[in-house]
Structure 1
Amino acid sequence: MRSYAATENNGGMQPQRGLERLVDLSDAVVAIAATLLVLPLVEIAGPDSGSSTWEVITSHRVDLFAFVLSFAVIFVLWTTHHRVFRDVTGYTTNLALANFFWLLSIVFLPFPTKLIAEKNGFDAGATATYVGTIAVSMMAIFALQVVIAHTPGITRLVPEHGLRTATIGLVLVLIAFGLAFTPVGLWSLTVLALTVPIDRFVDRRTAKAEE
């Protein structure tokens, strides 16, 4: 068993097994959050009310839209989280704390999803709560990248690139949060599609500057 002193000498890094448990817990929480999204739909398809299948679908189209949107959001956030941890070789207390902050945003997402469905997607408060939850998740991703960038030997990659990408994503989601209070509403989330193009543009500019 690794001693406390040995852990301290390694910059606070914890054993590999601890990292695996952290990642496994994260995946389990994501799976639970995704499952919670579908529960309102199960209630909709409950006892037969005499309506046809098409009538049930059309009368609850906002619920279906909210489910699909949030499922896609969770998938994107999980993929981003997976990329962060893909090349991480250990973890620290700060990394675990930032990760639990991220998990909090994920497990909370079904609540604003329900708000969106109940308000038909047009209520500014519901939209702001929804986009704000995504913003909190991106803040946590940014915090994870900051911890990685300031912990020597914790990743096999150049940590600055991940930190830059997280910064771009955070700035864009904060812009989306501001737009959520306007008539743009949920369409504000489309600005997040600019993350990859902007990141690649910065990559090219950086490469030219280093030539």
Structure 2
Amino acid sequence: MPHPAPLRTEDGLKRLVAFTDAVVAIAMTLLVLPLADLAAELRGQKSLGEVISTNSAALVGFFISFAVIWILWRNHHQIMENFRGYNATMLNLHFVFLLAIVLLPLATALISNEHVHWADAAYIVVLGIAIGSLIGISRQGVRDPDLVVDDEQVRHSLAGWAGIGTIAALAAALLVTLLFPSLGSWPLLFLALPGPLEAILTRVRGG
């Protein structure tokens, strides 16, 4: 006896997005826990300047990861605005995306600890998994046009390869990190390159 096709409703899509939003919010909140632990362990530091100077690595890691998770959520939000349905592949890709999101606070804590080797490389890999899953979710709109809203501009946008430049930048950052581990988190600055380059290419193509 053939099994009935699984039901994919708009309410199901809303629940998927709401669940994703909740997990992202929790992950962003968890980022502050290592800082709270640091505050509880302060000894003999009387000024705010001393606290910031002593714990600068942890503070920078917090702000970077908070911004990174925010950007990942914003991109996810923009992608899902184009969809009116979902499929099994999108569901599985959300699992991968959320796994990477909840691992980011751990990866952040690791890069804040100078005694953990290759923590920066692990952080980059986790970030690459999150971005790769978003690209995969977006591509489902190309593979199954019935899943996206009936708008030509939306279809054209999903048909592009947005995010590939970011993956390339992460690959370059990972390579530099593996070759020069003493650089710490500085190779993540490669992530600033794809946006301006894509803007320039868009203008050139438009001209």
Structure 1 length normalisation: TM-score? 0.83
- Structure 2 unmatched runs, 5+: none
Deviation (angstroms), 1:134: 0.7
Whole-Å separation in 1 of the counterparts to 2:188 and 2:104: 15
Query: Do 2:121 and 2:177's aligned partners in 1 also have CA atoms closer than 8 Å?
Result: yes
Q: Which stretch shows the higher mean deviation, 145-154 or 92-101?
A: 145-154
Query: Do 1:135 and 1:177's aligned partners in 2 also have CA atoms closer than 8 Å?
Result: no
- Structure 1 unmatched runs, 5+: none
Whole-Å separation in 1 of the counterparts to 2:108 and 2:78: 25
The yes-or-no answer on 1:127 pairing with 2:120 is yes
SS across alignment from 2:84: coil
Deviation (angstroms), 1:206: 4.3
Rate the CA distance shift 1:187–1:51 in 2: closer, same or farther, 3 A: closer
Match of 2:86 in 1: 91
Deviation (angstroms), 1:38: 0.3
Rate the CA distance shift 1:116–1:164 in 2: closer, same or farther, 3 A: same
Whole-Å separation in 1 of the counterparts to 2:92 and 2:114: 34
The yes-or-no answer on 1:144 pairing with 2:137 is yes
Q: Which stretch shows the higher mean deviation, 26-35 or 155-164?
A: 155-164
The letter for the 1-side match of 2:202 is D
Deviation (angstroms), 1:179: 1.9
The letter for the 2-side match of 1:186 is S
Whole-Å separation in 2 of the counterparts to 1:51 and 1:13: 59
Rate the CA distance shift 1:102–1:159 in 2: closer, same or farther, 3 A: farther
SS across alignment from 1:45: helix
- How many residue pairs get matched? 198
The yes-or-no answer on 1:180 pairing with 2:177 is yes
The RMSD of aligned alpha carbons is 2.4
Match of 1:34 in 2: 28
Q: What are the superposed Cα offsets for residues 30-78 of structure 1, whole Å, 9 maximum, x if unpaired? A: 1111111101111222276343143333222211111111111111111
Whole-Å separation in 1 of the counterparts to 2:157 and 2:167: 14
Whole-Å separation in 2 of the counterparts to 1:134 and 1:199: 20
Q: What are the superposed Cα offsets for residues 159-197 of structure 1, whole Å, 9 maximum, x if unpaired? A: 453341122222222222222223344222222222222
The yes-or-no answer on 1:76 pairing with 2:90 is no
SS across alignment from 1:52: coil
Whole-Å separation in 1 of the counterparts to 2:41 and 2:206: 61
Q: Which stretch shows the higher mean deviation, 74-83 or 182-191?
A: 182-191
The letter for the 1-side match of 2:136 is A
SS across alignment from 1:146: helix
Rate the CA distance shift 1:160–1:172 in 2: closer, same or farther, 3 A: farther
Query: Do 1:142 and 1:166's aligned partners in 2 also have CA atoms closer than 8 Å?
Result: yes
Identity of aligned residues (%): 31
Deviation (angstroms), 1:21: 0.6
Whole-Å separation in 2 of the counterparts to 1:199 and 1:49: 48
Rate the CA distance shift 1:161–1:180 in 2: closer, same or farther, 3 A: farther
Q: Which stretch shows the higher mean deviation, 110-119 or 48-57?
A: 48-57
Whole-Å separation in 1 of the counterparts to 2:15 and 2:200: 36
The letter for the 2-side match of 1:161 is S
Query: Do 2:82 and 2:154's aligned partners in 1 also have CA atoms closer than 8 Å?
Result: no
